[in-house]
Chains A and B, each alone.
Chain A
Amino acid sequence: MSVTPDEALSVSPADAHEISAEAAKLSRRHFVGKVWQVIFASSTLVGIVALTTLLLNIVNSAFGYVAVENTVQPEHLAINGVPIERMPKEDLVAVLESHVSAGLMRRFENEIPWEERTREDVYNLVLERVVDPKPVAQWSLYESLFTVDAIRQEMVERYPEADLIFKSWVTPSFITSPQSSNAFNAGVRTAILGSLWTISIAIIFSFPIGVGAAIYLQEYAKDNLINRIITLNINNLAGVPSIIYGILGLALFVRLLGQVTSGAIFGYTDPMTANGRTILSAGLTLGLLILPLIIINAQEAIKAVPNSLRQASYGIGATRWQTIWHHVLPSALPGILTGTILAISRAIGETAPLVVVGASTFITFDPDGPFSKFTTLPVQIYQWTARPQDVFRNLAAGGIIVLLLMLLSMNAIAVLLRNRYSRRI
């Protein structure tokens, strides 16, 4: 039976139905694909939104209006119409004398005699001890910007005595003044110094050991059982929760080696720190914590050094160590340093292990050595956050901004190092 071309091209109704069903199915498949693409894309937005909200939330608390009530109004302190801003030092001392107890005056005298104090110093004492401004209410940045009228209304109704000032909780004096129970004078200097001390000790302890272990595992170790166990072990240690390191530090450095970490063994006796809860203990604990990270990062950096470099070095008669010291390490150094900086920025933010090791809840003096009590910036933020009064949340926000700036600069240095030295290989 012959088929005419016309018949061959024509499509039976059943076929046509099937084809259009196929087409519908195809467009449905594409549609589902598009929908999911939108879902995938929008889930990436979650990360961006989360980060933005986090930062905005902190900035929102770190600035804003504060209602301040003075214990004594500065106008009442004026002598013969001279306000305290323009008073000479002697008059300020007199003002101080008439408002604080004799015992406190003697304490000031013992710290620094009045003759040696500057006018500025005495003026600050008057402000702090006599005028003694206290925050009675505070508003977030958002409220301060958009609901000023409501704030002023509330001021008139509830705090008629108070002054309304716009306060930034992050100021130069916030960074340079020590911890204080008065939110206005409190600062993070003690905490920053504590952070720097503990981090330095952690690096001194774990950098040589970490790099040494990486060199051994990458350059010397044969593929045998012991070395495999060591590698597996390091990977597992990197996954241990940081609080476990805190517990280990508490048992090992604070309790077992208390004589060493409190400095008693070196003849350093300070009754306040005799129990081993010192900067040294904290630093060593952080050192244990970042050791696996440094080892893993350094291993990666050493692995990336091309083998031709080693073979060339062996070829001209260098020993294994000479090869490592003169060729492998210099090439791997940028990578090792970058990894170390990342480990340090992890350590700077660590809070839990230091709380467990025994960070002090309240110290106002600067740490003066590895055997003194300590607090660090994240611990300080934690303690401020945990306090019930709202005003300390603002301080915590200020502390967080300082902490994030510290971390940001560390990471910027890491990126710079990577870009600067990675070209040479």
Chain B
Amino acid sequence: MNLKKRRRVGESIIHGFLILSSVISIFITVGIIFELGTESMLFFTRKQWERTNKEVVQNVELASTSFFVSESGATLRAGDLIRLRDEEMRVVEIQGGLLVVERGAEGTEPIFHSEGTAIEKATQVTLLEFFGKTEWNPQIGRFGIWALVNSTLMTSLIALVVALPIGLCVAIFLSEYASQRFRSILKPILEVLAGVPTVVYGYFALTFMTPLLQAILGKNVVGIYNTASAGIVIGILIIPLVSSMSEDALSAVPNALREAAYGLGATKFETALQVVVPAAFSGIAAAFIVATSRAIGETMIVAIAAGAGPNFTFNPFEAAETMTGHIVRISGGDLSYNSLDYNSIFAIGLLLFFMTLILNIISQKIVKKFREVYQ
């Protein structure tokens, strides 16, 4: 009798397919990082032409490598790349109003320029500008990411202020106080709340929350678009996330701990707050961090209710566009692939990706590291 393992071609093929399926997830991650990375590189290396308000004050012949320029306008430095019509030149030296240049830089052809030709200067978005400035206005070449990051952080902070305490209270109530019957009613309601599409929440923020805030605080205080109403509604959106993750952590605390606390004479509230919550700390912290990451990445609510237009402000009642809102607005029209706007989406996306990724990794680490193991 032959007991040797038989080759099964069909099963090997299936096995191969299964391995491939699970490796695809790696491809997706690599794809995300690669695409975001390369396009962001383009964003930081793409040349833009900025007007200097300078012009040549003499005719520039084909062969001449120096000419006088007007005094007004932005200062030029040696090494700058400038453009006169279609020809690009590298500035070699500046002697007062006399510009010594290298003609036909970057593979362009030297051509004759008549008196009065405007000079443009090449600029690039530098990392220093990207992370150091607070004005984002692509039309005039301002790319300071803080205008967008600031409003993202504001909406997220408001959302967390709403969602964390309420979510935790709901979780404590469900796990420590509520009867089985009440729990079976409340949990589906929270699930429905979590399952409502975010565009519906956006509609809710614009047509209910903003008018409500305006009615309370006055129309001249609260704008039609503002980060406060977007933030509050994001908070409502993530309450179920916080409460269900925290409740899982609280229910996982063994009953022996509670009984020991009762035995020492603690009241129900003291047991819940001083014994059960600390014991479930890792799970609750993980819930908070996941909620933060969700709030940062939330898009439709801010796209609808927080306003269209980057604005560096700390006033929650003013319109200010967030990172995600900006991406949606820019890509909503017919976006040309060869533009700085297109590349900027990827730079913002990359930053957003890393912000959420780091938060997610931290939450997983916390769960792993601080998990209490009960026998």
Contacts and interface: CB of A to CB of B under 8 A. Distances in A.
Interface string B160-183: 000001100110111011100000
Determine chain B's interface SS by DSSP, over half rule.
Answer: helix
Contact of B269 (A37, A350, A355, A407): A37
A114 B197 CA distance: 44
A29 B270 contact: yes
B353 A37 contact: no
Contacts of A43: 165-166, 169-170, 173
Contact of B195 (A46, A57, A295, A411): A411
B352 A244 contact: yes
Interface stretch (A47-55, A69-77, A88-96): A47-55
* B165, B174, B206, B349 — most chain A CB neighbours (10 Å): B349
A216 B32 contact: no
B349 A243 contact: yes
B32 A240 contact: yes
Given A30-B267, A378-B199, A382-B199, A51 B189 contact: yes
Interface in B55-74: none
Interface residues of B, number: 85
A113 B10 CA distance: 58
Contact of B299 (A41, A233, A241, A381): A241
Contacts of A247: 35-36, 327, 345-346, 349
Interface stretch (A143-151, A173-181, A249-257, A261-269): A249-257
Contacts of B201: 54
A305 interface: no
B151 interface: no
Interface in B1-41: 8, 10-11, 14-15, 17-26, 28-29, 31-32, 35-36, 39
Contact of A57 (B17, B31, B198, B204): B204
A352 B197 contact: no
Contacts of A221: 22
Given A241-B299, A291-B24, A407-B195, A57 B268 contact: no
A215 B23 contact: no
Contacts of A351: 197-199, 299-300
B203 interface: yes
A232 interface: yes
Contacts of B304: 382, 385-386
A58 to B, nearest CB: 7
A368 B346 CA distance: 32
A346 B22 CA distance: 22
Contacts of A250: 331, 345
B236 interface: yes
A348 B196 CA distance: 10
B60 to A, nearest CB: 40
Given A41-B173, A47-B190, A230 B303 contact: no
Given A47-B193, A51-B192, 19 more contacts: A37-B173, A40-B177, A47-B186, A54-B196, A209-B24, A212-B21, A232-B364, A236-B357, A240-B32, A243-B324, A247-B349, A250-B345, A252-B35, A255-B337, A288-B28, A291-B24, A350-B197, A352-B328, A356-B345
Interface of A: 29-30, 32-33, 36-37, 39-41, 43-44, 46-48, 50-51, 53-54, 57-58, 61, 208-213, 215-217, 220-221, 227, 229-230, 232-237, 239-244, 246-248, 250-252, 255, 288, 291-292, 295, 319-321, 345-346, 348-352, 355-356, 358, 361, 378, 381-382, 385-386, 393, 396-397, 400, 403-404, 407, 411
